[in-house]
Amino acid sequence: MPYDSSKLLDATNLAILRELQQDARLSYSELSRRVGLSVPAVTERVRRLEDAGIIEGYGVRLNFEALGYGITALIELSAPPSRYPQVLAFCEQTPEIRESYFVTGDSSYVVRVVARSVQHLQEIIQRLGTFGNTRTSVVLSSPIIKTSFDLEGLKR
Amino acid sequence: MPYDSSKLLDATNLAILRELQQDARLSYSELSRRVGLSVPAVTERVRRLEDAGIIEGYGVRLNFEALGYGITALIELSAPPSRYPQVLAFCEQTPEIRESYFVTGDSSYVVRVVARSVQHLQEIIQRLGTFGNTRTSVVLSSPIIKTSFDLEGLKR
DNA sequence: ACTGAAATCTGTAAACC
DNA sequence: GGTTTACAGATTTCAGT
């Protein structure tokens, strides 16, 4: 339920979010030690951040390379609006497609995919190609993937 | 330390990863109930997945819109190799840049940025523009952002 | 809103199969 | 690798401020 209530972003809650970004499996007792409040107070604050929709959930950061998915690519797809539902359905049922963005500019969709080999990537490109023109950029390296966001700018 | 040891990806560990992807704050006792092993067995398995580099860490999924960063954009940057170190340093110190990819094709970099307003986005684009030509695609919607990966394909 | 304390549940380490 | 046991630590609930 993302309705703001900007008071939720006081210095203590920003500290809580900072800690959870670095290690979401921190115990409440350790978290409360770090932010200087009692355990029930911190537990309640986290619950409210979840209820407000600021915290959407907790995830594990997986190393796709170690899982055998050594290739990442960004694929731009230009497709007529009439095919959007089909494109969406395809993206949803294809696990290799990690995210899709509907963007301004000459390409309608940009998707990020992971693949086990160039053959595997080619398959995905060909399937996307049935919806429209594609333009693929293979990722050579990902110098920056930030796992936490500096929330300092949110202080009022 | 990502050296595989592919035996780490048996059905039980895939189940553990599946559960942690959905909720990384699950207790070990709940996790062990779900995968049908004792608590110490599951704790040890998670420790090994971490040691092998398959699990890189645990994070909180934040709603950037609720945090006031309502705009996402993909910016392609073409810059000469001599400027890569500067570009990298800029990306690293700019919190709004969430990830950067070095890619094949005519653009050397693709970055994903979040911004609080179009003015804010413009600032970032202008700063990136000091390194080379930019091409910005504003994200209109993100129909798919997957928070978990179907690991079924890894079964041997 | 936060604290502190009690009851219950969970994590950790050791001994063993 | 796995389990069981036993102790230490963490979570939840609630009365009090």
Which chain C nucleotides are covered by protein, judged by CB under 7 A?
1-5, 9-15
CA distance A78 to A108: 5
Contact A100 B142 (CB under 8 A): yes
* Mean per-residue pLDDT over chain A, rounded: 94
Residue A125 has pLDDT above 90, yes or no: yes
CA distance A50 to A45: 9
Chain A positions touching B64 (Cβ under 8 A) are 149
Given this model, what pLDDT does residue B154 score?
A: 86
Contact A59 B24 (CB under 8 A): yes
Torsion sign, CA atoms A35, A38, A43, A48 = negative
Residue A2 has pLDDT above 50, yes or no: no
Gap from A45 CA to chain B (nearest CA, Å): 15
How many residues belong to chain B? 156
Residue B5 has pLDDT above 70, yes or no: no
End-to-end CA distance of chain A: 23
CB count within 10 Å of CB B42 equals 24
Chain A positions touching B57 (Cβ under 8 A) are 22-23, 60-61, 147
Given this model, what pLDDT does residue A57 score?
A: 98
The predicted model gives B118-138 an average pLDDT of: 98
Given this model, what pLDDT does residue B156 score?
A: 64
Judged by DSSP in three states, B137 sits in strand
CA A26 centroid distance within chain: 20
| B 68-97 → A contacts, CB under 8 A | 68, 72, 74, 88, 91-92, 95, 97
- pLDDT tens, residue by residue, A35-60: 999 999 999 999 999 999 999 999 99
Contact A97 B67 (CB under 8 A): no
Gap from A85 CA to chain B (nearest CA, Å): 11
Residue A55's beta-bridge partner residues?
Answer: B62
Domains in chain B (CATH in brackets) are: 5-59 (1.10.10.10), 65-139 (3.30.70.920)
Whether residue A46 lies within 8 A of chain B, CB to CB, comes out as no
Residue A12 has pLDDT above 90, yes or no: yes
How many Å apart are B114 CA and C11 C1'?
Answer: 39
Q: How confident is the model at residue A155 (pLDDT cuts 50, 70, 90)?
A: confident
